[in-house]
Every structure is written in C-alpha cells, then in structure tokens.
C-alpha cells in the first residue's frame, strides 16, 4: 500500500475451468483490498463496515466490481407495481446467461455479454487509478481469469460454449481481457467462506445447486497468486469484521516495511 494507506489501515482497530494460462508476475496494486466469496457470506455488509471504520484515518472508498449487483436488484424490486415482477424476470435471464452449462444466447446475446466484460475492464481501470492516487479502495468482488462464468467474476462466454466462429472469436478476446485484468493483483484478498446450509438459509431465493457450485469454485480461485486470507463467515459478525481489519492491518504493515 501507499504510505498513507498503510498508516491509515495500521491505525484502525474495530471495537468450469478455462484454458490454463501462464501466470504473469506483476507488481501488487497498492491501496486495493478485495472481498470475495459466495452469496450469503456478507460481502456487501463487511465492505461497507470496513469503509466506515477506516474513513476515520484517511480517504477510503468502496467499489462494487461485479457485473450484477444485488443492491441494484433490490432497488428495482422497490419500484411500484412492476418492481418485484421485473426484478424476478431480470434475475432469471441473468442466471440463465451466467450458467456455463447452458448454451450461449446467440451472436447478439454474446455481443452484449462481451460488452459487459468491456465495461468491467473500464470500471476496473478507474478503480486502479483511484487506488494509485492514495485512496484505499475496498472492493466487493474482483475479476479472475481461471474459471469461466460471470457468477464467479470470470469471462462469461467461454471458448468451448459455442461453435459459431464469431462467438468463439469474441470468447478468445474476452479471455485475454480477463487475463489482463487478473495481472493486477490487490494488496490483499479477503475470502469469506461458508457452507451450503448457511448460504441457503441466508439466501433462500437462490437455488441450492447454484450456491453449492459457487462455494466449490470460489474456494479454489487463486487470483493470480494474490495474497488471500480466508475467514469463516459463519462466525459472529463482530469477530469476522475484527479479523478482516486485522488482516488489512497486517498487510499494511508488511507493505510499509518493504518501502
């Protein structure tokens, strides 16, 4: 981290696989901490609370780095009359597109999915610039190039999901795009672990199969050999938050000692 972000964090104390690619050694992106995990682990809550605690010591911002936000879905659901029905329809379409077991939705749909990935890359560049400016960024989710699937924050198309030449070409370009994004490693990744029963109890609107699949995949991701701290999200929330803050403090101290 930058010296400013390091001092700030150190002072804070809370009361289906893609084609294997070569790992590229790149500098760690100072000033960025990513929180990842399956739905139901509390990523949104803990990222907001981390920002709340850290802002007393310097500039901190939260950024959502997924493509489809549960927070956005909640806002749609609140629309008068049509909200709940519209939100369910959009969620169903998103689930179908994200499920790598399904066929891709044709050339037009694939172009839209590729456009989403381009949008994510542009958004991530803005986050990188913000982190390099001396602001500590706490991100909810982070892109990876190891496993295909938007629901795992990987490339959405997948090079083997279509026989159409144009879609396959888009898929190859998208894979390279995610590989470039994955080269930039956060200072620290906090991975929130959970079991299927707890995840489903917290997210009963999600399918058991989807949750089980996501738990298995998220536990294996390495994010280009980034520094990862695993935390059990089933523990009392105050303990989870305290351990997350301790991990950030330790990461900041290590970064400061290397400067």
**What is the C-alpha to C-alpha distance for residues 138 and 145, in angstroms, rounded to an integer?**
20
Q: Is residue 178 part of a domain?
A: yes
Residue tagged 């958004």 (tokens):
123
Model confidence, pTM: 0.81
Q: Is residue 193 part of a domain?
A: yes
Greater model confidence, 1 or 206: 206
Q: Is residue 85 part of a domain?
A: no
Q: Is residue 183 part of a domain?
A: yes
Number of domains the chain contains: 1
The residue-averaged pLDDT of 166-173 equals: 93
Q: CATH no. for residue 27?
A: 3.40.50.300
Angle ∠(91,88,49) on CA atoms, nearest 5: 65
pLDDT exceeds cutoff 60 at 259: no
Greater model confidence, 94 or 131: 131
Tokens standing for residue 164: 């159409």
Q: Is residue 98 part of a domain?
A: no
Q: Is residue 172 part of a domain?
A: yes
For 61-113, the pLDDT digits (tens) are 999 998 865 555 555 555 566 556 655 655 555 555 555 566 667 888 888 88
For 198-236, the pLDDT digits (tens) are 999 999 988 999 999 999 999 999 999 999 999 999 999
Angle ∠(205,230,235) on CA atoms, nearest 5: 60
Q: Is residue 113 part of a domain?
A: yes
CB 45 within 8 Å of CB 70: no
**Coil, strand or helix: which one is 186?**
strand
Confidence of residue 18 (pLDDT cuts 50, 70, 90): low
Q: Is residue 143 part of a domain?
A: yes
Instruction: For residue 176, give its domain range.
Output: 3-69+108-258
pLDDT score recorded for residue 11? 39
């Amino acid at each position: 981290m930058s010296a400013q972000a390091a001092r700030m964090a150190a002072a804070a104390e809370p009361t289906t696989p893609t084609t294997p690619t070569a790992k590229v050694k790149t500098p760690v992106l100072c000033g960025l901490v990513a929180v990842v995990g399956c739905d139901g682990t509390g990523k949104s809550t803990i990222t907001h609370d981390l920002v709340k605690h850290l802002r007393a010591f310097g500039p901190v911002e939260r950024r959502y780095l997924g493509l489809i936000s549960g927070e956005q879905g909640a806002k749609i659901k609140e629309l008068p009359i049509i909200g709940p029905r519209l939100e369910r329809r959009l969620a169903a379409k998103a689930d179908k597109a994200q499920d790598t077991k399904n066929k891709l939705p044709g050339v037009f749909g694939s172009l839209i999915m590729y456009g989403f990935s381009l949008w994510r890359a542009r958004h991530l560049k803005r986050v990188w610039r913000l982190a390099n400016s001396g602001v500590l960024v706490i991100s909810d989710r982070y892109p990876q190039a190891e496993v295909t699937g938007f629901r795992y924050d990987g490339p959405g198309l997948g090079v083997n999901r279509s026989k159409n030449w144009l879609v396959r070409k888009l898929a190859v370009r998208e894979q390279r795009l995610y590989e470039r994004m994955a080269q930039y490693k956060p200072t620290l990744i906090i991975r929130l672990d959970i079991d299927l029963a707890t995840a489903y109890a917290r997210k009963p609107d999600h399918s058991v199969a989807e949750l089980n699949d996501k738990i298995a995949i998220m536990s294996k991701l390495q994010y280009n050999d980034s520094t990862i701290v695993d935390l059990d999200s089933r523990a009392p929330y105050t303990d989870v938050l305290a351990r997350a803050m301790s991990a950030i403090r330790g990461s900041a101290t290590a970064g400061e000692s290397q400067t």
